[in-house]
Every structure is written in C-alpha cells, then in structure tokens.
Amino acid sequence: MAEKQYDWKAIAKNPKFVELHHKKTAFLFGWWIFSCVYYFLLPIGAAYTPGIFKVKIIGAVNFGYIFALSQFFVSWGIALYYSHVANKDFDRLTRELIDELHL
C-alpha cells in the first residue's frame, strides 16, 4: 500500500475543486436541512395540530396517514435526486479534477 504523495493544499485551491466543494456543500446541507424540517413536522404536527391530521381525505384515510406515508416518498425522492446529481455533476467534476492533475 505505497501511498502516492499529493500536494493537498494545491488541490484544495484548484478552481475545479473549489467548484465541486461549493456545489456539494450547498446541495448536501440544503437537502439535509429540508429533510429534517419535513420529518419533524410529523411529530410536531401530530402533537400540536392533531385537528389537521384528522381531516379525512379519501374514505377513512386521513391527512395524518397520507403525511406519514409521504415521508417515505420524500426520503426516496431526495435519495434518487441526490444520486442523479452526484452521478452527473459531482462525479464528473471529480473525474475532471483528477484528469487535470494527471493523478
């Protein structure tokens, strides 16, 4: 496992890396905060606005159930969207960076 030596500081200053870093940070933390807020609406809503949760939507199925179910689809949606963006943008930028550095 002879590790190659890299000039980490130089790579960190490379514009491609800076672009990657900014895009990634904004994306990851943005969506992470969104998913946390969306999730905590469930316990907070169920506790403090039970009236909304009781509203029947289709037959006996109420808003509360649909909202809880939506958590699954929203989580999956974020996961798929992330994988799409990561495969398309992040991985491409990383590859370009590595090519540029001839590593």
Partner 1 sequence: MTIKKIFIAASLALSVAAAAYAEEAKAPAAGAAPAMSAPAAQGAPAATAAAPAPNAAASVATPAPAKAPVKKEMKADRTITIGMFLVIIAVTMGVVVWAAKQTKSAADFYAAGGGITGTQNGWAIAGDYMSAASFLGISGLISLYGYDGFMYSVGWLVAYITVLLIVAEPCRNAGKYTLGDILSFRTSPKPVRAFAAISTVAVSTFYLTAQMVGAGKLMALLVGIPYKMSIIGVGVLMVGYVVFGGMVATTWVQIIKAGLLMAGAFLLSFLVMIKAGFNPIGFFQTIVSSPDIQDHVSKMVLKDGVILSGMDAGQRFLEPGLYLKNPLDQISLGMALVLGTAGMPHILMRFFTVPTAQAARKSVIIAMFIIGGFYILTTLLGFGAAIHLTPQGITAVDKGGNMATLMLAQQMGADIAPILGDIFLAFLCAVAFATILAVVSGLVLAASAAIAHDIYVNVIKDGHADQHEQVFAARMTSFVVGACGILIGIAAEKQNVAHLVALAFAVAASGNLPVVVLSLFWRKFNTAGVISGLVVGTVAAIGLVMVSPNMTYPKVVAAGAKKVVAAMEKKQAALPPGATLAETDAKALAKAKVDAQQDGTSMVGLEKPLFTLKNPGIISIPLGFMAAILGALAFPNRRSEEMFDEVYVRQNTGLGMAKAVEH
List contacts with partner 1 (CB under 8 A).
1, 3-4, 6, 8-9, 11-12, 17, 20-21, 24-25, 28-29, 31-32, 35-36, 39-40, 42-44, 46-48, 50, 53-54, 56, 58-62, 64-65, 68-69, 71-72, 75-76, 78-80, 82-83, 86-87, 91, 94, 97-98, 103
Which residues have C-beta within 8 Å of that of residue 4, sequence separation ≥ 6?
A: 103
Q: How many CA atoms lie within 13 A of 65 on its CB side?
A: 9
**CB of residue 25 vs partner 1: minimum separation in angstroms?**
8
Which residues have C-beta within 8 Å of that of residue 36, sequence separation ≥ 6?
A: none
**CB of residue 101 vs partner 1: minimum separation in angstroms?**
9
Q: How many CA atoms lie within 13 A of 51 on its CB side?
A: 1
Q: Which amino acid is at 58?
A: I
**CB of residue 41 vs partner 1: minimum separation in angstroms?**
11
